[in-house]
Structure 1
Amino acid sequence: MYIKLFNKTLLLFFLTGMLHTLSAQTLDEIIAKHIQAMGGADKLSKLKSLKITAEMDVMKMKVPITTTIIQDQGFRSETTVQGMTVVQAINGNTGWAINPMTGQTKATALPEEAVKSMTAETDLTGLYNYKEKGYVLTLEGEEDLAGAKVYKVSMTLKNGIKRINYISKDTFYILKIIVHATMNGQDIKSENLQSNFKQVDGVTYPFTSEVTTSAMPGTTMTLVITTLEVNPKIDPNIFTMPTN
């Protein structure tokens, strides 16, 4: 009796371990195909900076946005609305903003929650080398996304920010990203539908994004990239908070 019970227990542990291994292999295969679809490890490993010029359509306004990023170092966006330029920047683990639309004409430090959320934007390579970055990924199954079959892969970043990536079973592009973040003590959910994928210098990018957020219910922001520069020379001082 004890031998039979022992054998059954061994079998259970064996099957559980095997299923876990198969699941891990499946996730790794999906990520490997995604990395290849985005341009491959060789290209992504050499991605050090980006400069993006785009136009956002929001509430019947055309809003130009310029975004400059240095991998794992700095992020800066400049958004012009009604002739006024709003600046948001991340410099390592600190951040600051200038928002003349609220009367804030001098640089002001961003709250910790905002810095935590925006710091993830300094990672240009996404799921590439996710284990080395300290990201935790889980394959949660398959779903249908507006007729497209996708893998649902949840991701927890090193700083605790949670994302859900919907990866196409056909192209292995990320078609949708859901992000949960805390702002002013409230849980903010944002969804980003990505399309119009193009390659620039061998790396694939979505040139169109449709963004909705619980912070602005009922509003869809459509972002269209007009120019994208890969590995431009960037002065790191643009991320430093002005002393005013």
Structure 2
Amino acid sequence: MRKTTYLNIFFLLLSAGVFQTISAQNVDEIVAKHIKAMGGEDKLSKLQSMKITAEMDVMNMQVPINTTIVQNQGFRSETTVQGATIVQAINGNTGWSINPMTGNNKATALPEEAVKSMASETDLTGLYNYKQKGYQLTLDGEEDLAGAKVYKVTMTLKNGVKRVNYISKDTFYILKIIAKTNVNGQDIESENVQSDFRQVDGIYYPFTSEVSTSAMPGTKMALHIKTLEVNPKIDPAIFAMPN
């Protein structure tokens, strides 16, 4: 009788949304601690642009990458491989690329699914203000990540793209991100393990990332940030697709 009563109470609470409310409160508490660890609301609310110079170690090559981002407006990366510079850019809801290694030096429009998967790169502040951005967050338990205890928080963007954030229970930094996207009809999963957090203008950033993707199985890429500039003046014309 008691067991039956407890089950009835459980399902009553579940139907009333009590457990969903508790979960949401837990997510908001975790996000609040993460925002504080990254530098706080005051700093993140003023983050509008960024320039990054980095180097990626991949397949015994050191590949320079220059990235420019304007919050919710534009993203542009320039990657130099064997003397050829590959450009990828997002300009609002459109995107384009230039890839001389394919024998084409002209700008080509990116397919819709590629723009969709890259659109999140224009968001510099991540989990900050996620409700106003229209993101959905769920707390999917806790795990052990290379000896570190982490919260597993899944973020679903407005366009449906999902990113799983592994947030340290100790520092509240995001130690790993798993993103799932669809490119040319193929589901691709990428993993980004972040470390070496450093403060720049009051905000903490991971200066080292180990990246792997199902598109290149067995290949690990190590990204090292050389310089990171916060809120530089950016000419929006650099995001526009050249004729």
Mapped pair 1:103 → 2:107: no
Q: Which residue of 1 aligns with 2:172?
A: 172
Mapped pair 1:24 → 2:20: no
Mapped pair 1:234 → 2:234: yes
Residue segments in structure 1 that go unaligned for 5+ positions in a row? none
Quote the Cα distance in structure 2 between the aligned partners of 1:12 and 1:22: 15
Q: Which residue of 1 aligns with 2:46?
A: 46
Map 1:158-169 → 2, pairs under 5 A = 158-169=158-169
Asked if the contact 2:23–2:138 (Cα under 8 Å) also holds between the matched residues in 1, the reply is: no
SS, match of residue 241 in structure 2: coil
Quote the Cα distance in structure 2 between the aligned partners of 1:52 and 1:225: 7
SS, match of residue 101 in structure 2: helix
Quote the Cα distance in structure 1 between the aligned partners of 2:103 and 2:199: 40
In percent, how many aligned pairs have the same letter? 76
Q: 1:11 to 1:58 in 2, by over 3 A?
A: closer
Q: Which residue of 1 aligns with 2:81?
A: 81
- 1:220 aligned partner, one-letter code: K
| TM-score between both structures, scaled by the size of structure 2 | 0.95
Deviations 1:113-160 (A, max 9, x none): 110011110000000010111111100000000000000011111111
- 1:177 aligned partner, one-letter code: I
Deviations 1:59-115 (A, max 9, x none): 000000000000000000000011110000000000000000111200000011110
Q: Which residue of 1 aligns with 2:12?
A: 13
Quote the Cα distance in structure 2 between the aligned partners of 1:11 and 1:93: 45
Q: 1:143 to 1:10 in 2, by over 3 A?
A: closer
Quote the Cα distance in structure 2 between the aligned partners of 1:141 and 1:20: 13
Q: Which residue of 1 aligns with 2:213?
A: 213
Quote the Cα distance in structure 2 between the aligned partners of 1:234 and 1:182: 30
Residue segments in structure 2 that go unaligned for 5+ positions in a row? none
Task: Give the number of equivalent residue pairs.
Answer: 239
Q: Which residue of 2 aligns with 1:188?
A: 188
| TM-score between both structures, scaled by the size of structure 1 | 0.94
Q: 1:28 to 1:100 in 2, by over 3 A?
A: same
Q: Which residue of 2 aligns with 1:131?
A: 131
Quote the Cα distance in structure 2 between the aligned partners of 1:193 and 1:32: 22
Quote the Cα distance in structure 1 between the aligned partners of 2:208 and 2:11: 48
- 2:218 aligned partner, one-letter code: G
Deviations 1:150-176 (A, max 9, x none): 000111111110110000000000000
Q: State the 1:10 CA deviation.
A: 6.9
